[in-house]
Amino acid sequence: MARARAPQHPQQAGPRAGEGPVRSRVALRVNGRTYALDLDNRVTLLDALRELLDLTGSKKGCDHGQCGACTVLVDGRRANSCLLLAVTLDASEITTVEGLAASDGALSPLQEAFLEYDAFQCGYCTPGQLCSAVGMLREAAAGHPSCVTDAATAADTAHPAALTPEEIAERLSGNLCRCGAYNAITRAVAACAATEAPDQAPRRPRT
């Protein structure tokens, strides 16, 4: 006797025969510019950035939220762009690595620190490391504890935790570097945190 097929969940059903994928119009705000797009609803933010907007700084490593290479800032908070559907981001401000430098090409303090401390080898993870570090420095300045912050410091929301190498390593642990540039990345982020805010105006034009 033939077995009855289990009914499909509506979200698993997909388009019926003869129907195309569902599309939506969306206005994506990226690095201060608005892009009007007509998107398949299944397109991730990462694919929209890379394939439709030609912003290829954000990298596709795992495409599963495991490596951090695709990290961008969404409304100032770091996020894995491979896990976000572009169609859900109509009202959001997105910043990619291309948006960290000033419009005249002047690097941000964090980018300068990455250069100064040799915080990359192949550079594949670097865009995600930079965006993640910008978000992490904001979180730390706002008093967000990490899982290595001791309980007394975490409870004292008026005084953010000191960004020790252990704190930085933990807070950036979602960003993998296959070349093993972790020590230099940690030193660069620590130097930036010690001297100035990551959002501060860039210092010198790129030559």
For binding to ligand FES (CB under 6 A), which residues are involved?
60-63, 65-70, 80, 82, 120-126, 177-179, 181
Q: Which two tokens stand for residue 202?
A: 């860039």
Q: Where are the alpha helices (DSSP H) in 22-150?
A: 45-47, 109-116, 126-141
Which one, 117 or 124, has the nearer CB to ligand FES?
A: 124
> In terms of DSSP bridges, do strands 71-74 and 77-80 run parallel, antiparallel, or are they unpaired?
antiparallel
| Shortest spacing between CB 124 and ligand FES, in angstroms | 4
| Shortest spacing between CB 166 and ligand FES, in angstroms | 20
Distance CA(29)–CA(170), nearest Å, equals 30
| Shortest spacing between CB 26 and ligand FES, in angstroms | 20
Count of beta carbons in the 10 Å neighbourhood of residue 182: 19
| Shortest spacing between CB 4 and ligand FES, in angstroms | 39
| Shortest spacing between CB 180 and ligand FES, in angstroms | 8
* Strand extents, DSSP E, the chain: 23-30, 33-40, 71-74, 77-80, 93-95
Distance CA(130)–CA(172), nearest Å, equals 10
Which one, 130 or 161, has the nearer CB to ligand FES?
A: 130
Which one, 183 or 200, has the nearer CB to ligand FES?
A: 183
| Shortest spacing between CB 178 and ligand FES, in angstroms | 4
Which one, 38 or 54, has the nearer CB to ligand FES?
A: 54
Which one, 145 or 182, has the nearer CB to ligand FES?
A: 182
Which one, 119 or 193, has the nearer CB to ligand FES?
A: 119
Distance CA(168)–CA(194), nearest Å, equals 12
* Cβ 170 vs Cβ 76: under 8 Å: no
Distance CA(135)–CA(98), nearest Å, equals 15
Q: Where are the alpha helices (DSSP H) in 142-181?
A: 151-155, 165-171
